[in-house]
Amino acid sequence: MSNIKQLSGAIRFALFAGAASVLAAPAFAQNSGQQEEAKTLDRVQVTGSLIRSASVETTQPVLVITREEIQKTGLNNVFEVLNNITASDGSGLSTVTTQTNGSDGSQQISLRGLGADRTLVLVDGKRWASDIDGTVDLSTIPLAIIERIDVLKDGASAIYGSDAIAGVVNLITRKDYEGAQASAYYGQNSKGDGTRTAFDVTIGASGERSSAVIAASYSDQDPVFARDREISRWPYFGCEQAQAALPGNSACGSAFGQYGPYVVPGFGTVVLNPNANLADGITPADYVPFNNLFRYNFSPVNYLQQPAKRSNLFGYGRFDITDNVSAFVRTSYTKRTSVQQLAEVPATINASGVNGPQWAFGAAANNIYNPFGVAVNQINYRMSPLGPRRPQYDYDIFSVQAGLEGNFELGERFFNWELTAQRNDGQYDRRGTGYVNLFNLRNALGPSGYDTATGQLYCGTSFATRIPGCVPFNIFGGPTLGLGAPIPGAPAGRVITAADVRAMLNYVGYVQVATQGNTSVNYNGLLTGDLFELPGGMSGFAVGFEYRKDDVFSQPDTLVASGGSSDNFSEPTKGFVEVKEYFAEFTLPLLRDVVAAKELELSFAARKSDYSAAGVIGINNVTSDPGSPLTRKIGIRWKPLDQLLVRASYGETFRAPSVFDLYRGGGESFPQATDPCRAVNPNVGGSGYQTTDPAIIANCNAAGVVNGAPQPNRQIRSLIGGNPNLKPEQGENFTAGLVWSPEFIDNFDISLDYWRIRLTDAMATVAAGTTLQRCYNPAAPGYDPAAYCPLVTRVSNGQIAQINITQQNLSSTDTSGVDLGIAYRYDFGDFGAIRTKFDTTYIRKAEVKALASSPAGDATGFYDGSPNWEWRHNLTTDWTKGDWTVTWTARAVSRLEDIGGCFLSICSSGDPAVGNFLGFTTYHDLAASWAAPWDARIQVGARNIFGKEPPLTATTFAHSFDAAYDLPGGPFWYMSYRQNF
């Protein structure tokens, strides 16, 4: 029996034994003598307010996830903990590659369907190091240092500043730990891949006037290949191998294949016959007409889950200078490495330039390997001999925070103060293999020959005028580059050898090197304390200032930036954004212990921000004025009864543009779009317009299109860059809800909150298709040919060569919903205790308008490349008896309609006209742990214990399912050991 099967069997036995114990426990009445836990009256600072208070209840809903709760889940990283809460929309980036083929392994959290850049991430109330695009990579925060996680499910720009639109995640670290603890974790998919290991050590000590905590951790995640799951081994699920004679092909694959095609004058669109005998020489007779059976199946090469490693060192120290003044320092260093693997480079050669100027060349008629004797100016060849593209990421993130804090009394009033300085540094290096030097490939496909005197291959019209170092490249030789085929013009018996193939690949292939980095500094001061007595108690205040500056640079690979790489062209980025802010917050306890008002408190907050920015656009230095927003917040907290809390808040929010938003260097992208001027036959220009709209035809004619433009590929080259004229997004948040703990049911709590987020001037990219419509179609919303037509570039036959795209302050969003939380604990006496928590989020609407004149579109209940669930539920039940704990969790999401329709077997009804539905999906997790007498805890468990497969979708970027769902292929089994010393 294999070790994998032994591990799975042992864990299954332990889990179901624990589950049986839960089911066998009889229901005894609760111990009536149980007393409520004592409540501390210490003044503390809670997430959502800067005022220190004895009350931990705020006017805004805060989800608290304790360290104990995290350990019961069996999850071993911050991202998975947060991605599983019901407020998460599941669209944040992860190491699962269904969302993008360029992921660097970052992990992000997105709340309320508004994106990771609208969710603020804090560590101990301070901003964490962000990536160059302004988002936070959660993999840089080790779970071992977390004491608890607070999730403020409301906007809070008046409290924390920019980005706190959808909510705030505040990760509270361990500071007062004494002793030592070590833990180890091992987990594996039931398929035997995707293995995860993690180790951490925490040591804490304290003296009379000082304390310190040091934690070190390491984690390692192995890859999962797309070829190893049925759902992802083909470009689309159900579109299997074309035929046995063409291994590696798929009718739904890429038109850039290992055998071509080549568009050859006089021969048409042809591919090299895979069964051709190359030993007798490659001739036109070895080529056959191209059809979909020759499409390349790129999926098996790709990762489904990326490998990633992370090492982290965290330290916190505190020293009491006097009884009222303390100094503290907090530092963290993270080293993260990850790898992405993509299918081999598709050589998109087209001399017309429609695939970018870097690809504007062809194979010369007198190239030694050209069997056709004419110039071939359109080649769709998969560079499989070079191997897959493998960008490797090496990230170093350092953060240090130091400060002074203290307290004093003045006139029988108590005050706290804090001065803090913080610096975050990120260095992001990338090294990639499997890429093509296009300058060299252009040379290698030009005129070439064989010099019989020296026995050398050369590039150029003669050996005397040869290009030094150049090696002719046999792009017509299929996946082996013609290995074993005779070299034209060489003596008999001189064939293409393995050494020749290596020389070809060494010449055109190269190692890509790029680097990025950012530095942020933050200085802030805070004074909080008592103001004056009111009927409800002492009023409180907090005032302060904050200064932040983010410096960002991105230096692409030299060949990428110069247009000589097979990778997407990209320009450098350099700039900074700085802000000066002043803020104030007040609480006014109006009533206490009167009829219908056990407590009544109002709160107010305001923050004034002044932004400035500068950067480089092309070769020009540019300054920007991102704005000076003023945000305000008002809240009410009312307890008509001791057991009932009613709360509501209204606030203004904003998100300032990042350096990347303002000054991002232009980069290539290939979105799908339809040219309004497209010809009836998209492969042949001038064959007549597909459209019959005379206004569109007139605009196309004015653009130089004659009787329809060719568009053989639905992907159109676009260049995306920053916009230095962006202004902050403005928003409004409203929440209202209640928390009820009825006295007639002990240990029972229920919370219900309605929330609404409205956002205007949202920074959004005008899509390529939208740009084309606003240029050519007078009936399109936002039609403005003067603004949009200059963004479209065409070549001489009318085909689109490029569309320039940038972000603008355009769209508005209006989303609302309800959060429900129920918690109950029941004590069975000698048979243990059960604790149940139920959380659910209902999305009432998620409307987006591209322009003020555009109709609102509600995404709720639809899948449009990311899930827009109407409902998301979590139900967790713990049974604890003595040293044993068994935890069962059910995670469920509602049904979605795939707006992309269906493809082949994806259609749930079998009728393509009906479309595809992602069904209601429930995952079950089970874990059991035992507290050993030697002060250790052992846990075994499984995520998705019943092996529920993710629903199929045709609209996701790749792999036919979305990363918001669990990986396919059965349960994930794990075990952990934690030892206290």
pLDDT over threshold 50, residue 908 = no
Strand 346-350: give its sheet, edge to edge.
287-289, 268-272, 262-264, 378-382, 346-350
In this prediction, what percent of the chain has a pLDDT beyond 90? 72
158/808: higher pLDDT: 158
Task: Give residue-wise pLDDT tens across range 516-531.
Answer: 999 999 999 999 999 9
Residue 583: count of CB within 10 angstroms of its CB: 22
**CA gap 252, 294 in Å, rounded:** 10
Tell whether the model's pLDDT for residue 3 goes beyond 90: no
What residue type is 656 in one-letter code? A
User: What is the rounded distance in angstroms from the CA atom of residue 8 to the CA atom of residue 13?
Assistant: 9
* pLDDT attached to residue 42: 57
Which residues face 917 on adjacent strands? 897
What's the pLDDT score for residue 24? 34
CA distance 286 to 478: 11
Secondary structure in 3-state letters for 375-403 = CECEEEEECHHHCCEEEEEEEEEEEEEEE
Q: Which residue has the tokens 């200059």?
A: 790
Report the 10 Å Cβ neighbour count for 386. 21
pLDDT of res. 864: 83
Asked if residues 806 and 819 have their Cβ atoms less than 8 Å apart, the reply is no
Question: Among 323-327, 379-383, 731-735, 857-861, which is the least confidently predicted range?
Answer: 857-861
CA–CA distances in Å: residue 927 to residues 72, 143, 195, 380, 936: 7, 18, 18, 51, 16
> Is the pLDDT confidence value at 398 over 60?
yes
| Least confident piece of the model among 402-416, 417-431, 792-806, 908-922 | 908-922
Range in 240-249, 396-405, 639-648 with the lowest mean pLDDT: 240-249
User: Terminus-to-terminus CA distance in the chain, angstroms?
Assistant: 36
Residue 32 scores a pLDDT above 50: no
Mean pLDDT, residues 601-629 taken together = 93
State yes or no: pLDDT of 40 exceeds 50. Answer: no
- Contact between 605 and 583 under an 8 Å Cβ cutoff? The reply is yes
Integer Cα distance of 958 and 731 in angstroms: 33
Distance CA 60, CA 752 (A): 12
For residues 175 and 437, the model is more confident at 437
Structure tokens at 804: 């320039």
Give pLDDT, residue 669: 84
776 phi and psi angles, rounded to 5 deg: -110, -20
Q: What is the dihedral of CA 113, 117, 119, 124, to 10 degrees?
A: 160
pLDDT for position 54: 66
Mean pLDDT value of segment 235-257: 73
What pLDDT, on a 0 to 100 scale, did the predictor assign at position 915? Answer: 57
In terms of average pLDDT, the best of 20-34, 233-247, 666-680 is 666-680
- CA-closest candidate to residue 72, choices 666, 893, 664, 925: 925
Say whether pLDDT at 156 is over 60. yes
Would you say 316 and 206 are in contact if contact means Cβ atoms under 8 Å apart?
A: no
Q: Which of 92-101, 228-237, 296-305, 321-330 has the lowest mean pLDDT?
A: 92-101
Query: What pLDDT score does 541 carry?
Result: 96
CB 866 within 8 A of CB 83: no
pLDDT in tens, 566-611: 998 899 999 999 999 999 999 999 999 999 999 999 999 999 999 9
Least trusted range by pLDDT, from 35-39, 307-311, 419-423, 804-808: 35-39
Cβ-count burial of 244 within 10 angstroms (0-12 exposed, 13-18 middle, 19+ buried)? Answer: exposed
If you average pLDDT over every residue of the chain, what do you get? 89
Tokens found for residue 958:
């790749």
Per-residue pLDDT of 741-777, as tens digits, reads 999 999 999 999 999 999 999 888 888 888 999 999 9
Task: Note the pLDDT of residue 636.
Answer: 96
Query: Distance between CA atoms of 646 and 598, rounded to whole angstroms?
Result: 11
Distance CA 218, CA 76 (A): 11
Non-local CB neighbours of 468 within 8 Å, separated by 6+ positions: none
pLDDT category of residue 13 using cuts at 50, 70 and 90:
very low
Provide the pLDDT for residue 241.
59
Whether residue 7 is predicted with pLDDT greater than 90 in this model: the reply is: no
Q: Which pair of tokens denotes residue 621?
A: 């230095």
The highest-confidence range among 9-18, 712-721, 943-952, by mean pLDDT, is 943-952
Identify which of 508, 462, 207 has the alpha carbon closest to the alpha carbon of residue 347: 508
Q: What is the pLDDT of residue 2?
A: 42
The residue ranking higher by pLDDT, 244 or 409, is: 409
Q: Is the peptide bond before 261 cis (omega within 30 degrees of 0)?
A: yes
Helix H or strand E encompassing 506: helix 498-508
> pLDDT at residue 20 above 50?
no
Strands 916-918, 378-382: pairing kind: unpaired
Supply the pLDDT for residue 325: 97
What's the confidence (pLDDT) of residue 43?
62
- So what's the pLDDT on residue 525? 97
Q: Which residues pair with 333 in a beta bridge?
A: 313, 398
Higher-confidence residue: 334 or 955? Answer: 334
| DSSP H or E segment with residue 660 | helix 659-663
| Phi, psi (rounded to 5 degrees) for 559 | -70, -35
Average pLDDT (174-187) is 93
Pairing between strand 871-881 and 833-849?
antiparallel
Q: How far is CA 553 from CA 338, 571, 577, in A?
A: 21, 11, 12
> Residue 855's pLDDT band (boundaries 50, 70, 90)?
confident
How does residue 25 score in pLDDT terms, banded at 50, 70 and 90? Answer: very low
pLDDT class of 719 with cuts at 50, 70, 90? confident
Contacts of 789 (CB under 8 A, 6+ apart): 703, 775, 776
pLDDT band at 245 (very low <50, low <70, confident <90, very high): low
Residue at 911: amino acid letter: D
Q: Any idea what the Cα angle at residue 123 is, between residues 118 and 126, rounded to 5°?
A: 80
pLDDT at site 8: 43
The answer to whether the CB of 89 falls within 8 A of the CB of 866 is yes
Q: Using an 8 Å Cβ cutoff, are 305 and 194 in contact? A: yes
Instruction: State percent of the chain over pLDDT 70.
Output: 92
Of the candidates 212, 138, 131, 201, which has an alpha carbon nearest to the alpha carbon of residue 175?
212
pTM value is: 0.87
